[in-house]
Amino acid sequence: MATNHLLEIKQYGQSVWIDNLSRDIVQSGELQNLVENQGICGITSNPAIFEKAIADNAIYDADIEAGIEAKLPTDKIYESLVFADIRNACDILRPVYEATNRQDGYVSIEVPPTIAHDTQATINEARRYFQEIGRENIMIKIPGTEAGCPAVEQVIAEGINVNITLLFSVQNYINTAWAYIRGLEKRVAEGKDISKIASVASFFLSRIDTNIDGKIDAKLGRGVDDINLEARLRAVRGKVAIANAKIAYQEYKKIIESDRWQTLASQGAKVQRLLWASTSTKDPNYSDVMYVDELIGPDTVNTLPPGTITACAEHCHVANRLETGVNEAYHLIESLKDPDININLDAVMDELLSEGINKFVQPFQSLMNSLERKVKLLSPV
């Protein structure tokens, strides 16, 4: 029987989650199979995934009709559909949650992306989602924006599990890691238990390479006279996201070595794991599992779309590589500042964060529009 490489990854302290949630995979038994036989131990979802799941799928029609009969507005019908899927997925993953002492077994759901820059609205929705879904192993996704950090701190202090999403820059990751710590410290100051709270910091990968590769290809397309410079530009292609992630992991290690973290750990706090997101390879010239192979290491999560899960089970080269080539990673990131290469990484990260929010807002609005159309179609005349 062929080796399933997904199961090997666990031996290196990394958890594999699936980046895909729909009623189909819950009801068909596919999710149960992935959990029991493929080593999948968590799920992430986002508005783009739900748009695909709900927009053209008759499986939701009966519940939409029930919502119409109850005279619910479209946004409440949306929530009734999504919350039901989330609860069912949480129930399937509950044994994992218990077996891993609350480290895994989580299902992530995003607060509406339209409030990404509103701290108080984010706090309110995170509280409401957590209460209404009513499952301990739910993780509320909050974007790592300037407004998101204080929201993370507050909801962690209230005992809500958080997945901080859309992290591109190392500095944004550091900011959210300290927001988690401050939230736990607040909770300790109130005499509350911190051992049952979990958080992940979702660090995005392929979008970074897509953006930077585009800039390099534009430079090469204009023609480069110097052969050495051309070689240096080509050497950067497809390398920045992984280098950036390796540097973020080094920052994670510094944070958990700090006195503030050690004090929390002694009171039962769980480390906030880095989660690798946006892990499907966009350039066909690259390995389809490069964002898995290169970033396997302890206290991390990798969330994979279904195609990457299949590819990885077949041909991942599993080894602990997260702390290999770290000096080269720093050197590569530093080389972007070279006047000949001249790529402003901070500007790229800001652009990607802004784009990332739009990439969730657009499908969210599109989903609401298509749901509105479906409501009209299914409404009794």
Cα separation, 372 vs 358, whole angstroms? 21
Q: Which residue is catalytic, options 71, 141, 246, 282?
A: 141
Please state, in angstroms and as integers, the Cα–Cα distance from residue 26 to each residue in 22, 31, 84, 85, 89, following that order.
Answer: 7, 5, 11, 7, 6
Cα separation, 106 vs 15, whole angstroms? 11
Q: Is 52 among the residues known to form the active site?
A: no
Q: Are 17 and 304 in contact (CB under 8 A)?
A: yes
Cα separation, 54 vs 1, whole angstroms? 37
Which residue shows structure tokens 């892990």?
Answer: 279
Type of residue found at 357: I
Cα separation, 193 vs 343, whole angstroms? 45
Which amino acids are annotated catalytic? Answer: 141
